[in-house]
Amino acid sequence: MEFNRKDLITALEKTKKFTGSGNANLAIVGNVLVTPTELRSTDLESYASVPLQARNYVRAFTEQPEAHPVPEDLKSELSELLKAQLESLCADYGIETPEKAKKADLVAAVTAACEKAFEAEKNAKPINVEVEESFCIDPKVLLGIAKTSAEDHLQVEVVFEKESMRTSMFAQESRWRPTHINVGKEFQEIHVMDPKEFPDPPDVGTGALLFSAAGAELGKAISAATVASDEMRPHLVGLWVEPAKNRMVSCNGSRLHITNREIAGDNDLLLIPVKAVKKLIAVAGKEDPVDLALANDTDIYTIARINDMRVTVRNLAGDVPPLGELLTPGAHVVTVKKADLVASIAQAGVVASKDYSSVAMKFNGGIDAKTENPDLGSHKNTNVPFVTGGPFEPQIETALKVEYVADALKLFDDETINISFEDAEHPFLFTDSGNCTALVMPMRL
């Protein structure tokens, strides 16, 4: 079979992101499935496919049916069956038996049928079969072959091995299983796996479009979710898509980011795995749109499309906590210039670390920010004046995680940011005139 090399590389770069770990229990998911019309991959949570266009992908074989002799102990094995079982066997295979047949008559009839089938197999003429070439292969291997080739088109020779198996007492079937491929003169006997073992994607139709978002918007939407591999709580590792409320939410228990946007449908909640969304963003980049659709007749799957690529994602099951009170603006609201706060938090991040990750923030006539780290040193900034709001007497002092404030500020495009809070111990809400909201929980001073 023949592939356009550049098209194959593009398809592999996309689909390899959705392969699984390929452990010993299910090694096949570490591979991609290569067929004449598409390239597929799966990690058993997401199922990705990209169209391909191969040429010369049908192989012709001349096949001689194999004759399987009647086992010598067939009669004794049949004699161990009950008469009712023998009658059922004869009925299933249309074996003629005499009226009021005894058990010995039934055994003789089945034995004769087997001998007749064996004679037919011995005298069978060769038949011609056509096999559509496909195989499973480690995407890194095939990608390496494609990238190092000097040819514009890759000539892939699929080498097959015939497998025969008896499907019943009187029938057998054979198939041609790929064992390895040869690519050009340089790559020989490259190991492949059986495409029959590759998991089929769920049949969920084309789906109903929920919304279309650029990769950058989805990146903002998931930016508060947890990245811990051992976290199992769905609302922390899933992107909350809430069509009824026209919003997306991500959360890690100490912060959350909300993106308000129009979403079709009236479902209360879809929880899309953040891990899958990150892979979609990796394919789409910042600018390409990602179309998200709800699968036909079910909310178990979400269908994503990026140009010619389709990914079916299994949604997470679970509930999310209510956000009503958390999103209620506090008694205090101040406005600062985004550039001033970004600069102050960036400086605080220089001396922050895993063990000393907070910035102390004093709200008086402006914001005084201070970070202390006995291992690295300290930082102090008193240059974040209020545009509106304040002053506070007495001053309000809190501590927020440097990383969380820095990530929150990336959501906004306005020159000024609004910060709403009740007191030092309640959530701090960050907003601008756009469609995003960030909530950051305070830390202990």
Pair (113, 236) in one structural domain: no
What CATH number is given to the structural domain containing 85? 1.10.720
pTM for the model? 0.83
Average pLDDT, the chain: 91
Number of structural domains found in the chain: 4
190-204 pLDDT, tens digit each: 999 999 999 999 999
Q: Is residue 171 part of a domain?
A: yes
CA 439/CA 432 separation, integer angstroms: 13
Q: Is residue 327 part of a domain?
A: no
Q: What is the pLDDT of residue 331?
A: 93
Pair (389, 349) in one structural domain: yes
Pair (43, 158) in one structural domain: yes
* Sign (positive or negative) of CA dihedral 376, 382, 383, 384: positive
CA 422/CA 309 separation, integer angstroms: 47
Q: What is the pLDDT of residue 56?
A: 87
Q: What is the pLDDT of residue 171?
A: 67
Tokens of 6: 């550049």
213-267 pLDDT, tens digit each: 999 999 999 999 987 667 788 999 999 999 999 999 999 999 999 999 999 988 8
What CATH number is given to the structural domain containing 343? 3.10.150.10
Which one of 197, 224, 242 terminates a domain? Answer: 197
Q: What is the CA radius of gyration of the chain?
A: 32
CA 393/CA 369 separation, integer angstroms: 17
Pair (21, 145) in one structural domain: yes
Indicate the burial class of 94 (C-beta count within 10 angstroms; 0-12, 13-18, 19 or more).
Answer: exposed
| Of residues 62, 60, 61, 59, the one with CA closest to residue 2 | 59
Pair (383, 235) in one structural domain: no
- Structural domain range at position 249: 208-314
Pair (212, 280) in one structural domain: yes
